């Protein structure tokens, strides 16, 4: 497993190096001298652009300094032309690292009110996810749309809960469900890395990432590229075994009283999709 799964200090250095490598001198508006042994900016060039000393930046990238101020992190983010999500991730990584991931003392559970809410959404597929993309609950339509081959009651058993990221990379039925699997996989990894930086003390996240790096070459390759993106909405093209090809929109709603918990809802993107979801609802009700 990568070192940056284990500590924020290692993650910060690795992430800085990955983003430094993608910025060329031309991009940064500086003159390049001499042969370049590595892609992107040199350390001294980035330090100059960010207004910090080369020694300080080197220590930061090598994990020897763990007290970078927010202003320094912002300066590095500007010099590296980071996106808003990448900037937020850099700040997460710069926070002091926990001694080690802390296992939860009790299994994570969905609030009764949240479960009642999604159950009342009879025409909208909905899934409640925990930090590590484990399924805490789903309504009947959400279950039928994305995981009908799983036991409906499986989220109630913490030890064997479905996990959307694990399913995406290790479950062949889930892989067949997504017409644009490569896009879905990239999006899932980019979102997971953002969450992992925010909750580096979460043992379930650390275990999931380690498991997938070992079990899936595809996941390990994507994780090594260090994508970061907060995927809050978009579309998914599904090849559903009962209703055929359907394009659905998705929205992610974060729950303020449960950090890391969020509801993912799926909606019809056009008239054919509405008919498909109504058909699926009819199938679910008939079952």
Nearest to 132 by CA among 59, 21, 75, 208: 208
Query: Where in the chain is CATH 1.10.260.40?
Result: 3-94
Residue spans of beta strands (DSSP E) within the chain? 126-129, 135-138, 233-240, 244-254, 262-268
* Paired tokens of 121: 């959404």
pLDDT at 5 over 50: no
Cα 13 to the chain's mean position, in Å?
20
* pTM, two decimal places: 0.86
Residue 178: which pLDDT band, with cuts at 50, 70 and 90? Answer: very high
Q: Which residues pair with 137 in a beta bridge?
A: 128
> Which pLDDT belongs to residue 101?
57
Residues 58, 224, 208, 206: what is their CA dihedral angle, to the nearest 10 degrees? 0
Beta strand spans in 72-220 (E): 126-129, 135-138
pLDDT confidence of 17, banded at 50, 70, 90?
very high
pLDDT tens digits for range 180-224: 999 999 999 999 999 999 888 888 899 999 999 999 999 999 999
C-alpha closest to that of 251 among 277, 233, 225, 273: 233
- Encode pLDDT of 231-269 as tens digits: 899 999 999 999 999 999 999 999 987 778 999 999 998
Q: What is the pLDDT of residues 113-172, one digit of tens each?
A: 999 999 999 999 999 999 999 999 999 999 999 999 999 999 999 988 999 999 999 999
Domain with CATH 3.30.450.180 in the chain: 112-286
Q: Is 56 exposed, middle or buried (0-12, 13-18, 19+ CB in 10 A)?
A: middle
d(CA 248, CA 204): 29
At residue 29 the predicted structure's pLDDT band, cuts being 50, 70 and 90, is confident
CB 210 within 8 A of CB 5: yes
**Token pair recorded at residue 195:** 């969450």
Beta bridge partners of 267: 249
Mean pLDDT on 174-183: 96
Residue 47 has pLDDT above 60, yes or no: yes
CATH of domain 112-286: 3.30.450.180
Nearest in space to 70 (alpha carbons), one of 47, 53, 98, 93:
93
Calculate the alpha carbon distances from 107 to 152, 158, 159, 196, 208 in Å: 19, 6, 9, 19, 16
Q: Candidates 3.90.550.10, 1.10.268.10, 1.10.260.40, 3.40.630.30; correct CATH number of 3-94? A: 1.10.260.40
In angstroms, the Cα distances linking 174 to 74, 171, 252 are: 39, 5, 20
């Amino acid at each position: 497993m990568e070192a940056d799964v284990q500590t924020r200090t290692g993650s910060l250095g690795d992430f800085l190096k990955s983003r430094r490598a993608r910025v060329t001198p031309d991009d940064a508006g500086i003159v390049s001298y001499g042969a370049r042994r590595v892609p992107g900016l040199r350390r001294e060039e980035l330090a100059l652009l960010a207004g910090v000393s080369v020694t300080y930046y080197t220590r930061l990238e090598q994990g020897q300094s763990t007290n970078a101020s927010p202003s320094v992190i912002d300066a590095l983010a500007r010099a590296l032309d980071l996106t808003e999500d990448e900037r937020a991730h850099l700040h997460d990584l710069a926070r002091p690292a926990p001694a080690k991931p802390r296992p939860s003392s009790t299994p994570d559970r969905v609030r009764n009110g949240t479960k009642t809410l999604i159950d009342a959404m009879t025409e909208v597929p909905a899934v409640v996810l925990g930090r590590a993309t484990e399924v805490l609950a789903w309504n009947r339509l959400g279950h039928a749309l994305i995981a009908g081959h799983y036991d409906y009651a499986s989220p109630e058993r913490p030890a064997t809960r479905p996990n959307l990221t694990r399913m995406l990379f290790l479950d062949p039925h889930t892989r067949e469900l997504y017409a644009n699997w490569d896009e879905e996989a990239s999006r899932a990894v980019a979102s997971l890395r953002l969450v992992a930086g925010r909750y580096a003390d979460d043992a379930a996240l650390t275990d999931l990432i380690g498991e997938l790096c070992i079990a899936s070459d595809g996941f390990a390759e994507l994780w090594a590229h260090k994508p970061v993106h907060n995927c809050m909405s978009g579309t998914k093209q599904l090849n559903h075994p009962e209703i055929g090809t359907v394009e659905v929109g998705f929205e992610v709603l974060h729950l303020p009283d449960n950090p890391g918990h969020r509801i993912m809802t799926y909606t019809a993107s056009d008239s054919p999709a509405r008919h498909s979801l109504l058909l699926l609802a009819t199938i679910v009700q008939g079952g």
